Every structure is written in C-alpha cells, then in structure tokens.
Amino acid sequence: MKKIGFSLLLLAMLCGTAFANGTEEQGAAAANLASTLEINFCQGNNARTMTYQKSDPLTLPDGTIITQGDLKPTWQYISEQIGVQIVDVAVQDQKATEMVDIAAATGFEDAVIYGGNSVAEDLMNYGALGYFVNIKDYLNQMPAVKAYLEANPNIAKSITAYNGGIYHMPYVAEIGNYARVFAAREDWITSLLDSSAALESETHTLNVAYEGYWDRNSSNVIDLQNAAAKGGVLDRDTALNVLVKYINDTYSYAKPSELYLGEGAQYDVDEMIALWRVVELSPNTLSKVSTGSVVPGTEISPFFVRKAKYREDALRLLNYFDGQRVHASDSYKARLYDDGKEMHYSYADPEFLEKVNYLQQWYAEGLIHSEFADLSVKDEFRKSMYFADSIEGQKQFGFMTYDWIASTTAGSDKIVAVLPPVTTITDAGIKKFVHYMENTRVIKPDGWAISAAASQEEINAALTLFNYMFTEEGNDVQNYSIPAGRLEGEVFTAPDGTEYPKFSPWMFEAAGQYKNGDVSGFLRDFMGSHLALGYQKEIGFEMQYTKNNGPAAWALYTKAGVLTPSYGSKDAALRLMPPLISLTEQNLAKLATVSVGDGQTESIFMYVTGLDSGITDATDLIADFDEAGLDVYLDVYKTAYDRMMAK
C-alpha cells in the first residue's frame, strides 16, 4: 500500500485546492507573498543549519556544485517550489534556546520564522503572549496543514497552548513505529545454550542477590539457580546447567536458544536475568567466540547503555514487571503520566521504586556495565562493547543493549534484534503475556513558529512554506531530499507492505563519499533535509539505509506485533503524553517553589550503583520527592494537562 497522510488527491478533496508545481495555490494570499523569507533556525551545530558549511564542495547529480555559504540543496529546491527566496539569518552554531532568548529581547523582529530543537515550549509560551502567529487563524491558507491536523487530532491537542492557540508546527517523528529495541549477540546465546562444543573452562563466580519475580510457570528459573548456588555463590556450569534443564523441562523448543531468539521468543525478565548470569560467568568462552581465542582479563557486561547520559534506558527494563510505567514519551524527562484519574510522576511511584531494587540487585551481581550511570564518563560504550571485537587487546565485550535498529546493526553483523521480554500489563487489562515496548516514536519538542512582528506579506510567505512541508512533495523533500536523490516511479516496500519513495544509487554513493555511509547524517549536514522543524518524518527513510541484520530486525518486530503506547489509546496505561504541557505564568510561579527532578533522579542511580549507603531500599526515596514538593508539582501539571486536553 502507498504511504498515507500526504495524498494530494485527499488534500484536494478535503480542501478544494488546486495544485501547481507540487504546492497549493493560495488565492489572494499567493499574490501577496514577500519576495524573501528570513529564517532563524538553530540546532547548536553549524552542520545542522540551512546553509552549507563544509569546506569541501558537494557535487549534485546534474553537476551543480554547492559551496560553503550556499543554501543547502533541499532549501534551494524548496525556495524554487514556493517562489520565495529563503534567507538563512541564523548564527550557524548557536543553540536554539539561546537564539530564542536573544530574539525575545527584541520582540522577534529580526526574522520571520524562528525555530530549532527543544524550543517548542518557548515557542508555545511566547506565542500565548502574542509574539507568534496563531496558526489556527490561518488554516484556510494552509490546506495541507489543516488536513494533517484534522486527521491527527491528538497531535493538534499536543501542540495547543493554554489559551487554545497553536503557535508552532512540530517535528513529528515516525509515529506508530518502534524507537529503540533490544539487541544482542546471537552467537553468544547459541554457543552457550545449544551445545557444549564452544564452552571453555571458567573460574568466574557471582554472589546471587536477585530472587526473581514471576510465578508464570510451575517453577521459576531464578529460584532454581539460587537454590543450586553454593553458599550463595553461583558458577558458570551450575547456572548454565540449571537454565538449559529449565528450558527443556518448561518449553518445547527444538533448541534452548529459541526461548530468546526469533519470532517464537517468549522469555520473561527472570529468564533474561538467568541468561545474563550465564553470560557474566563465561568470559573465557565468549571472548573466544568473539575473537577466535580466549582473551585473559576479559570483562563481560551482560547489559549496557550506549552512553552514560543515556542511563535512563536501564530503567526501561522495569517495564517488564507487569508493565511498570517508566517514561510517558520518548524522552528521559517524560516522567509524568495521567492514569485517567490523577497525575503521576513515574520515578516517585512506590511501585516504580520497589522495582528499582531489582535493578540494584542486578548491578550488584555484575550484570549491568559498571560505568553505565557515571556521567563523568563520556565514552560511547556501544563502540567498545559491540564494534571493537577485532581490535588487538580488546577486553570489553557487551551482550545486550537497548538502542536504535539502524545504527546498532550497522556497526557489526554479529548483532541481531531480539524481541523484548514478555510481560503482563494489568493496569491496561492485559493479563496474558505479551511483547511490549514503552519506547515508541513521538511528537518532538522541536519545531518552528512565525513572528507576529512580520508584515502580512512575510507571514503569507511563511504560511506557504509551512503548508508545503505537509504536501506530498514537501514531505518527500524533507524525508528523502531533492528529486535527484530518488528514483522516479520506484518504491521501497517496508515489512508491513507500505511503499515509500526509493533513494537513488547516487544518494548512497554520496553518503559514502561525504559521510562514511551515514545517510541520515549526509541528508542533514550536506543536503539540508531532516532538520528539527515542522514536518512528519517517515520510517521509510530509515529502513532503506538499514543494513546487516537491521532489515531482519524490522521484520521481526513487525511480524511479532510488539505492543507500544500511542497518543490515541483508550487505555490510560498505554497512552503517550504530549511532548510538553503548556503552563501559565501562575503555573510557572508555583513550580518555582518545588524541586522535583534531577536531584531525586541522581539519588536513584546512586542507590543502584551503591554510592549512596544512606538508604537500604529504593522506596526510602519517596521522602525526598515529598520534601521536594511533589504534591504541588503534580497538582500544577494535572490542572494544565486537563486544560490542554479539553481544547
């Protein structure tokens, strides 16, 4: 089937609009467009602006040469299509939040469009104060935007300010698609579980701390491993023999590894930990599997996060204790959720903190990378854990992580996606065991807005640009770049059957030449597509440049129908929260009296890693949240959220 949401025919039927050169004619407004459109769009990176900033020229398929200081090809093409000269007035390496603060001091009078990453809240708040155009007042001039918002009412609500206005168009990620997924080393699982041929002698041991959670089967594998441990100490042979016997006694798989691999995987979080223990206890075996010989001094991390600043990804493992809520959106800061009755701060929920104790126990057993939460460490653990097997002297190896499909599978053909652990979600009425991922693609807190200080002709030009991004052609330009980067008349078919524009060979060749094969980076840094402005991103772009075991990963998750939250879910336990909640001055004044947030989060990680010896149970941290003013915090956001959803 063809991708949905941007059909020109549909828009014409909905809006009665004629199309010319891929854009909608704007009637009287089109005759009164300003000839130039000044845009101040920043992302804190001079490679991620509308202007080409590379010292090496870029040669397009038709021989056109783009040099430093030119508009990037995407923006030259857009300028031609809308008939307005685009002028990039941004300070090229300025952070978007800094740009907004400076522009606010002069009333946003120095450009027509302002935007960037992580500025949606500022745009919304300044819009409510009259500094930005209320898009709702101009929907008749933007038929494509109007059709998009009507077709996506939950997105419209999520960008509505407290006074009912919409003042920015957001960057909407690939809604309805998986974000991060579980990845693992397949050959480690098969080498450990399916035969003894690869097994080396092991001397490493661990002290058991975790006692298990589920009573899903007649016996619990963690109970069995703990009972077999000698004086609370577990060795590899004991842990492995117990796990393999348990799988064979409990399931009817042809091979024990099938509990974890492929479409038939049905492991729960206890069975995951039982495997992690075996992995942790097998440094000789697994270093030989990965390098061809035993590596003395090998350090195995059964679970790791990409970087320490992504440490909250470890907390997502708590989802697999009956669907425990951790993050209400694809953001580590998204900790607020509404259960249909009251607002919650997930990290302060007693049930959440009870389960943090399990994370602490796993860490104590050595199952989680020792530096995962140390923000002073800037290394990318994924490189050293996954992508460095062939480097001489390599001693660090990782088994499982939680990350993006394309970038994780690209670095090594040894890495495969595995389905997430199965879990119930009682709060959503799901009492059977299902595959569930809380992390899904969402509306981002990024985008752009139109200055109310601009002339009407300039506003008309900006509206034309905003609308173009939601036409079929504009959408394709943002997702797949200029027509020369696509194969006319050819499509890429996703695992679910959806068809998308197909990249031309030139696109992959150019990405290889200019960006070491990174198509996403090439489109942003060289072509000018994929900036964090108002448009709907499509998964067809990402799937096309996924390689190694990446396509199989997409197919695995798609075929398994892994459950994810959504904005339109009727069940509050599976409902995504907006990227931000619009707050009044009174709301902000109340929040200034509380201190809920980073301090308590740091305490959680200090407890998990043993740096805070002042508490013996994570639920002791509830007092910290109460002292920080949690009741006021939740009351403010509940009031604001209800107001926002009622618009």
pLDDT, one tens digit per residue, over 88-97 is 999 999 999 9
pTM: 0.93
Q: Are 319 and 438 in contact (CB under 8 A)?
A: yes
- Nearest Cα residue to 482 out of 442, 510, 454: 510
Confidence band (pLDDT; 50, 70, 90) for 646?
confident
The per-residue pLDDT for 88 is 98
Confidence band (pLDDT; 50, 70, 90) for 613?
confident
Q: Are 60 and 74 in contact (CB under 8 A)?
A: no
The per-residue pLDDT for 13 is 31
pLDDT at 11 over 80: no
The per-residue pLDDT for 612 is 74
* Terminal Cα-to-Cα distance of the chain (whole angstroms): 34
For the stretch 203-231, pLDDT in tens is 999 999 999 999 999 999 999 999 999 99
Minimum mean pLDDT range among 208-217, 237-246, 326-335:
326-335
Backbone phi, then psi, for 448, in 5-degree steps? Answer: -145, 160
Q: Are 111 and 87 in contact (CB under 8 A)?
A: no
pLDDT at 130 over 80: yes
Give strand pairing partners of 41: 115
The per-residue pLDDT for 3 is 58
Q: What is the mean pLDDT of residues 243-257?
A: 98
Which residues are CB-neighbours of 373 under 8 A, at least 6 positions away?
Answer: 308, 311, 314, 605, 608, 609
DSSP state of 180: E
For the stretch 524-572, pLDDT in tens is 999 999 999 999 999 999 999 999 999 999 999 999 999 999 998 999 9
Helix, strand, coil percent content, the chain, rounded in steps of 5: 40, 15, 40
The per-residue pLDDT for 23 is 39
Give the percent of the chain with pLDDT over 70.
95
The whole-angstrom separation of Cα 93 and Cα 87 is: 16
- Give the Cα-Cα-Cα angle 158, 159, 160 (nearest 5 degrees): 95
H or E element: which one contains 522? helix 519-522
H or E element: which one contains 88? strand 85-88
pLDDT at 20 over 70: no
Q: What is the mean pLDDT of residues 26-38?
A: 72
Q: Please give the full DSSP string across 237-284, using - where no structure is assigned.
A: HHHHHHHHHHHHHH---SSGGGGTSSTT----HHHHHHHHHHHHT-HH
The per-residue pLDDT for 71 is 98
Q: Are 6 and 471 in contact (CB under 8 A)?
A: yes
Q: What is the mean pLDDT of residues 376-380?
A: 96
For the stretch 457-472, pLDDT in tens is 999 999 999 999 999 9
Both tokens of 348, joined, read 């302060």
The whole-angstrom separation of Cα 171 and Cα 283 is: 44
The per-residue pLDDT for 15 is 38
Q: Who has greater pLDDT, 10 or 548?
A: 548
Give the percent of the chain with pLDDT over 90.
92
- Nearest Cα residue to 575 out of 466, 474, 461, 442: 442
Which residues are CB-neighbours of 9 under 8 A, at least 6 positions away?
Answer: none
The total of other beta-carbon atoms located within 10 Å of residue 434's CB is: 17
Mean pLDDT across the chain: 94
Give strand pairing partners of 19: 24
The per-residue pLDDT for 217 is 97
The per-residue pLDDT for 526 is 98
Q: What is the mean pLDDT of residues 51-69?
A: 96
277: left (phi over 0), alpha (psi -120 to 50) or beta: alpha
For the stretch 577-595, pLDDT in tens is 999 999 999 999 999 999 9
Domains and CATH numbers, the chain: 8-174+443-469 (3.40.190.10), 180-435 (3.40.190)
The total of other beta-carbon atoms located within 10 Å of residue 255's CB is: 14
The whole-angstrom separation of Cα 310 and Cα 616 is: 25
Which residues are CB-neighbours of 135 under 8 A, at least 6 positions away?
Answer: 142, 145, 165, 166, 167, 168, 169, 450, 466
pLDDT at 17 over 90: no
For the stretch 461-516, pLDDT in tens is 999 999 999 999 999 999 999 999 999 999 999 999 999 999 999 999 999 999 98
The whole-angstrom separation of Cα 83 and Cα 65 is: 22
The per-residue pLDDT for 6 is 45
Pairing type for strands 169-172 and 430-435 reads: unpaired
The per-residue pLDDT for 31 is 57
Both tokens of 113, joined, read 């469009």
Q: Are 41 and 90 in contact (CB under 8 A)?
A: yes
Q: How far is CA 556 from CA 182, 327, 348, 420, in A?
A: 11, 24, 34, 11
